[in-house]
Amino acid sequence: MSGIRSAPVDPSVIAVCRARLSGHPVEGFLLGGGTYPAQVMFVGEAPGATEIQEGRPFSGQAGEELDGYLQRLGLTRDEVYITSVIRSRPYKEKPLTRASGETVISRSNRTPTKTEILAHAPILDEEIRWVQPQIIVPMGNTALHRLIGSHETITSLHGKLIEGPVQQAADPAMPDKGYIFSREIYQIFPLFHPAAILYNRKLTDIVMSDLDHLSQILRRNS
């Protein structure tokens, strides 16, 4: 895993973004990782329990699927950059009664809210500036909507190359200002989130064919 590093996002930006989520049910913090600049940048949803524990993006079950994506593309983690729209783990709590009769509170992952995603938007914006990706690969609806707005879905856009600006925080210091579109134009190639395959194995063939399309585009670009 040598050669994997996080983009040097300004610590004061991180502090402001994290402070915005104090009081929200989120835990931990870790930046994305890989190399920068990089030809391809993968954007997921949010770290889960394993990622927060291990301090490495996509180190849980979804990460194993993502490694399969990379293998299909003939790439390794130190040739790309992997991150998410929010860099803390959103969780929900519910009581769980053990076999012993004891009740404990268990935490499960949940989709980040729009407010939480906007609160961390300046971090992803900075990562994009450091990575200067030729192609951004949003994985799943959360990443797709964060980057291009919510007028389309991953089901309609997966495996298709789009060219256009991406959303960024209008004013990094003021989350209530929402998003504006970047001046830069990117190639955007949406894919199903690797966790989607875990729940629906029938997606595997579709994702593999999308990856073959992406591979052709990368070869053409390089």
List interacting residues with ligand URA (CB under 6 A): 44-48, 51, 57-58, 62, 84
Minimum CB distance to ligand URA smaller for 45 or for 126: 45
Minimum CB distance to ligand URA smaller for 113 or for 181: 113
Sheet with 81-84, side-by-side order of all strands: 33-34, 81-84, 40-44, 135-138, 186-188, 162-164
Minimum CB distance to ligand URA smaller for 135 or for 139: 139
Give the residue at shortest CB distance from ligand URA.
Answer: 44
Of the chain, the end-to-end C-alpha distance in Å amounts to: 24
Min dist. Cβ of residue 137 to ligand URA (A): 12
Min dist. Cβ of residue 146 to ligand URA (A): 11
Measured between alpha carbons, how far is 33 from 79 in angstroms, rounded to an integer?
10
Minimum CB distance to ligand URA smaller for 110 or for 213: 110
Sheet with 26-27, side-by-side order of all strands: 26-27, 89-97, 103-109
**Phi, psi angle pair for 89, to nearest 5°:** -90, 115
Min dist. Cβ of residue 4 to ligand URA (A): 13
Min dist. Cβ of residue 219 to ligand URA (A): 26
- Do 57 and 47 contact (CB within 8 A), yes or no? yes
Min dist. Cβ of residue 173 to ligand URA (A): 26
- Do 154 and 201 contact (CB within 8 A), yes or no? no
Min dist. Cβ of residue 111 to ligand URA (A): 10
Radius of gyration, CA atoms only, the chain = 17
Minimum CB distance to ligand URA smaller for 84 or for 168: 84
Measured between alpha carbons, how far is 46 from 12 in angstroms, rounded to an integer?
21
Q: What is the largest CA-CA distance in the chain?
A: 60
Minimum CB distance to ligand URA smaller for 108 or for 184: 108
For tokens 């959103």, name the residue.
90
